[in-house]
Amino acid sequence: MIKFTKQLRQLIGASCITLILASCVQEADVEIVDPEIKSTFDLELAESLELMDNDAQLAIEKLDLLIIDAEKINSKYYAGKAKWYKAYIYDEVIEDVSLAYRNYNEALKDILQTDDYLLKEKIYNNLGVLYRFYGQYDAAINNYEMALNLKGDLPAERLSDLYYNYGLALKLKGDSVSFFMAEQALTKSLEYAQEIDYNENIASVHNLIGLIYKDIENYEMARIAYNNTIRKYINDPDLQDYVGKAYHGIGVTYMEEDNAEASLNAFKKALEHKRSSGSIFITKYDLGTVLLRQGRDDEAIAMWEDALKEKHNKNVIEQVRIYSDLTSALKTNNRYEEALSYNETYDSSIQNILKEGEKYKSKSDQILFAKIISEYDEFSKPTPFFERPLVMLVMMLTAVALLYAIVVLYYRSRSKKEVSEAVSEIQSKFMNIRVD
């Protein structure tokens, strides 16, 4: 029994050591590259990036050759980095979501075998953005969590960006648990941004917190968050767009509370600070909506027509709706010819939106994102709880301990049985002794 216990302890110790060593090897697969080869690869990567904007296809061809060369010498780092650059070009320049997604995942497979945690973080982050954009919020959240759990000290700026993206994905997911997690993530983003005076993120976080509170109809807390941006940056010439967005957010909270005057004042202040034409369009559109609700039809029509001078996207249904609103307002005021003109624009825009949707579905290299990610299930789904390394280690140790306990109980019960049988035998012999 004592001998078995020692063997079992040795087995448990060996299992633990094997698991720990395996996890270390997986993380610390450090690649050693000859300095001349390294210099050549770095130069070729730089040349490919320089070509990105002027000749994206040529840049990709150069990266493909670099990948072949890297794979010949089994360089996971340079093969992965070249695939990462390819993915970025497909994502940001060519805008081919299918090939961007494939290359991000292929890059990740290589880079996970290196110790470059900074590049791992970038790939996880970009995949998270891609998932989030196409409504795959659980997968986006999983990728941000993978990035945040990397071993290595990420710079404060990267951590602030990561926590911001993480908070945004949680906010978009929309359930009550995600709301509290989003608030915590954004608080962390704010802390890291404040460490390094990362003002763009400080303003963005305050505005996003305002939007979160607005969505749950806590308008007072939303206005407090928006006012944090306004107080801090109202006199900063580089951050006027953020101030304008904060005023716009305050205007929306008042609009949803049916406080027309307060809403109009906030929207007008937003226009004083906004610099981006696309953002100005949205404020003028909402301002016109409030004017119409007040029965000030002529002013609403004039505001909407003024909004149309700003940059807007006729392939986005939320922005095309302004043409429908103008049609209704003009018809109500017996301005039928103008109404007809805007109605024609609205109809043609809706037709284009439908055609673009069908074209997107039919393109062989840009099928629906849900089908694209099915080819990479291991990246698109959150890691199951029981598959996480630490959990697997705990489960294995628990199983071994349970097995040990079962064996101990078995041997104890067996010993008791043997003793019991021996006692019974003695008692039987004793009972059979005859006393003359």
What DSSP line would sit under 273-324, residue for residue? H---HHHHHHHHHHHHHHHHHTT-HHHHHHHHHHHTTS---TTSHHHHHHHH
Helix (H) or strand (E) holding 268: helix 260-273
Average pLDDT, the chain: 83
Instruction: Tell me how many domains the chain contains.
Output: 1
Q: Is the pLDDT of residue 52 over 90?
A: no
Structure pTM? Answer: 0.74
In a domain, 93, yes or no: yes
Q: Residue 45: name the closest of 29, 75, 67 by CA.
A: 67
Output the six-digit token pair for 302. Answer: 């004039």
Find all residues with CB under 8 Å of 11, minimum gap 6, and list them.
Answer: 400
pLDDT of 42 reads 87
In a domain, 96, yes or no: yes
Find all residues with CB under 8 Å of 56, minimum gap 6, and list them.
Answer: 89, 93, 94
Alpha-carbon distance of 254 to 219, in angstroms, equals: 8
Question: CA angle 78-370-135, nearest 5°?
Answer: 90
Structure confidence by residue, pLDDT tens digits, 158-195: 999 999 999 999 999 988 888 889 999 999 999 999 99
In a domain, 58, yes or no: yes
> Where in the sequence is the domain holding 72, given as residue range(s)?
31-114
In a domain, 97, yes or no: yes
Alpha-carbon distance of 242 to 226, in angstroms, equals: 10
In a domain, 326, yes or no: no
Q: How far from 195 is each of 50, 114, 121, 189, 229, CA to CA, in Å?
A: 33, 30, 20, 10, 17
Q: Is the pLDDT of residue 318 over 50?
A: yes
User: How large a percentage of the chain has pLDDT more than 70?
Assistant: 78
Structure confidence by residue, pLDDT tens digits, 407-418: 777 667 666 666
Q: How far from 39 is each of 45, 46, 64, 79, CA to CA, in Å?
A: 10, 11, 18, 15
Q: How far from 356 is each of 91, 96, 314, 316, 362, CA to CA, in Å?
A: 19, 14, 12, 11, 10
In a domain, 38, yes or no: yes
Q: Among 267-276, 377-386, 419-428, which is the least confidently predicted range?
A: 377-386
Structure confidence by residue, pLDDT tens digits, 80-128: 999 999 999 999 898 888 889 999 999 999 999 999 999 999 999 999 9
In a domain, 95, yes or no: yes
In a domain, 108, yes or no: yes
pLDDT of 294 reads 94
Alpha-carbon distance of 16 to 366, in angstroms, equals: 46
